[in-house]
Amino acid sequence: MSEVENKQESLETVKEDPNKSTPYAWNPDKMLEVFLIEPDNFLKIRETLTRIGIASRTDKKLYQSCHILHKQGRYFIVHFKELFSLDGKESNITTNDIERRNTIAVLLADWGLLKIKDVNQITSKASLSQIKVLAHKDKAGWELVAKYNIGKRAK
């Protein structure tokens, strides 16, 4: 690792605080719009996002952080708390939630699944140490928990 990479990594480590709870002034214009590289990537992204999130320390549960939203012909990578806000429900979205969303979107872009419409919208990212990415082969050993279900009515 070069000296520049070491400095960059240490800067990222210092600024990324997993306990950061700074409220985020969210509105729908701040949603992260993306373009699908291939039309069938929607289902691949949706499934992949079920395997990316916050892992429980006590049991093998993975809490999904983000979802892909398809609205009026447009696609967005959204944190589940953004979806609560869109539904008019109370949401305590924080800067760290948005940073995790940004990191996850960049991962999906790096993997060739999507392109971020406006990369300038990603001003900060969370450290990868805050996010668990489960390999598809390891999925069966974990309980995957979504805190929001798109398109499903509450009973």
- Predicted structure pTM score: 0.83
Check the CA dihedral 37-40-42-48 and report its sign.
negative
| pLDDT tens-place string over residues 10-68 | 333 334 444 457 888 888 999 999 999 998 999 999 999 999 999 998 899 999 999 99
- Count of structural domains, the chain: 1
Q: d(Cα 21, Cα 127) in Å, to the nearest integer? A: 15
In this structure, are residues 45 and 114 in contact, taking their beta carbons and an 8 Å threshold? yes
Give the CATH number for residue 109.
3.30.70.650
| Residue 112 belongs to some domain of the structure | yes
| Residue 42 belongs to some domain of the structure | yes
| Residue 53 belongs to some domain of the structure | yes
| Residue 111 belongs to some domain of the structure | yes
Q: d(Cα 101, Cα 95) in Å, to the nearest integer? A: 10
| Residue 5 belongs to some domain of the structure | no
Q: Which residue range(s) make up the domain with 68?
A: 31-146
| Residue 12 belongs to some domain of the structure | no
Ordered alpha helix ranges (H), 36-120: 41-49, 80-86, 95-110
| Residue 73 belongs to some domain of the structure | yes
Query: What values do phi and psi take at 78, rounded to 5?
Result: -130, 145
